[in-house]
Amino acid sequence: MQIFHNPHYDFIRWRWHALILSWIVIAAGIGVIATKGLALGVEFSGGTIVILEFDKTPTIDQIRSALDAEKVGGGGQNIVVQRYGNESERRVMVRLPHSGEEQGTSLTRTADEVVKAVTDAKLGPFKQIGSQVVGPIVGRELTQKGFWATVLSLLGLLVYIGFRFKLSFGVGAVVATLHDLLVTLAFLAFFRYDMSLNVIAALLTVTGYSTNDTIVIFDRVRENLRGMRRDAIAEVVNTAVNQTLGRTVITAGTVLMSVIALFIWGGEVLKGFAFTMIVGTITGTYSSVFIAAAIVTFWRGKNAPRVPVAPPVAVDPGSKKKNNKRDRA
């Protein structure tokens, strides 16, 4: 299916505007993370999550007051109480940070205390429909594994593309991937989504998606370098982006439709995963066109690639004299 007929949009012209926009978003994200912190899921921070379903949902303040009255989890502002899922489901999520040593049945004691406190407060019939408990040692281990999984994937990406294409292409792909991760983290901080294992999985998926899109463009750039040797590298890259534009729009569009449907109907558990995929798909497509391609043009310079020039044809002095006599005649 052909969407665009011989497109020739000047994407490279807007590379500086794109870079400035990306830096603004990343800087704003860093500011939010520095002031408010990045919300960590229970998998990384350690703690207890209890999900309660009521026949008639009490207010958030009533549940918090019940927990404070019983000194559940030590009380205080560290306890998070919020609605969970659709309003019609009448569900509430209670999250408490872990305290004490990670041993024996102490990991499940807090969940029992939450249920007891809500029962004693007589907030109406309810049932516990789920709970999750992660100790601090497990949380630190998962944090380290998530970090190294991301770092090793970026190193593998640089080695593969640098070997498969050229070093400038590999650097462009890695910078574009780092850009995708930073922009996605910024939006996670803006909308206060928890950094969970689902989100880490989405980030790694976004890394692979963005890399695939970048490689398609780079492969076309390499082919164009053979037939456009007299053109500037910016024109070569711009032509490659236009040649793959239809494929990029179709791929990004189908992925976006899938993850948007997942975000709307996938339930509360998959909200963070779907949101990360939505942002990552958009920024991955954007970075392949504007960031990775721009890095290649900066690296290789603005001048046209060198083209071997044919040596001048030697002229026989004798034939030159004969030609002059003919002209005088």
User: Using one digit for the tens of pLDDT, what is the confidence trace for 131-174?
Assistant: 877 766 666 777 788 788 778 877 887 787 778 777 788 888 88
Burial 232-247 (b: 16+ CB within 10 A, else e): bbbbbbbbbbbbbbee
Is the pLDDT score of 38 beyond 90? Answer: no
pLDDT confidence band for 77 (50 / 70 / 90): low
Distance CA 209, CA 203 (A): 10
Q: How far apart are CA 249 and CA 3, in angstroms?
A: 9
Produce one character per residue of 175-191: b if its CB has 16 or more CB atoms within 10 Å, e if not. bbbbbbbbbbbbbbbee
pLDDT at 304: 43
Give exposure, 304-314, as e/b (b: 16+ Cβ within 10 Å): eeeeeeeeeee
Among 170, 197, 153, which residue's Cα sits nearest to residue 292? 170
Where would I find the H helices in the chain?
Answer: 15-36, 42-45, 60-69, 106-120, 136-164, 167-190, 197-227, 233-243, 245-265, 271-287, 293-300, 317-328
Stretch 204-215: mean pLDDT: 86
Question: Percent of the chain at pLDDT above 90?
Answer: 21
pLDDT of residue 299: 82
Q: Which fold has domain 12-37+139-300?
A: Multidrug efflux transporter AcrB transmembrane fold (1.20.1640)
Torsion of CA 274, 264, 279, 24, to 10 degrees: -130
Q: Does 47-134 match 12-37+139-300 at the fold level?
A: no
Task: Write down the mean pLDDT value for the chain.
Answer: 81
Domain positions in the chain: 12-37+139-300, 47-134
* Ramachandran assignment for 187, one of left (phi > 0), alpha (psi -120 to 50 degrees), beta (any other): alpha
Does residue 256 contact residue 282 with C-beta atoms inside 8 Å?
A: yes
> Which residues, other chains included, contact 101 with Cβ-Cβ below 8 Å and sequence gap of 6+?
none
Tokens linked to 136: 């601090």
Q: What is the pTM (predicted TM-score) of this model? A: 0.77
Please tell us whether the domain made up of 47-134 is placed in CATH 3.30.1490.20. no
pLDDT confidence tier of residue 212, bands split at 50, 70 and 90: confident
Q: Please provide residue 39's backbone torsions phi and psi, each rounded to the nearest 5 degrees.
A: -65, 120
| CB contact at 8 A, 40 and 194 | yes
Does residue 49 contact residue 131 with C-beta atoms inside 8 Å?
A: yes
Whether the Cβ atoms of residue 27 and residue 177 lie closer than 8 Å to each other: no
Q: What is the mean pLDDT of residues 277-299?
A: 90
Each residue's pLDDT tens digit, 303-324: 444 444 444 545 555 555 555 5
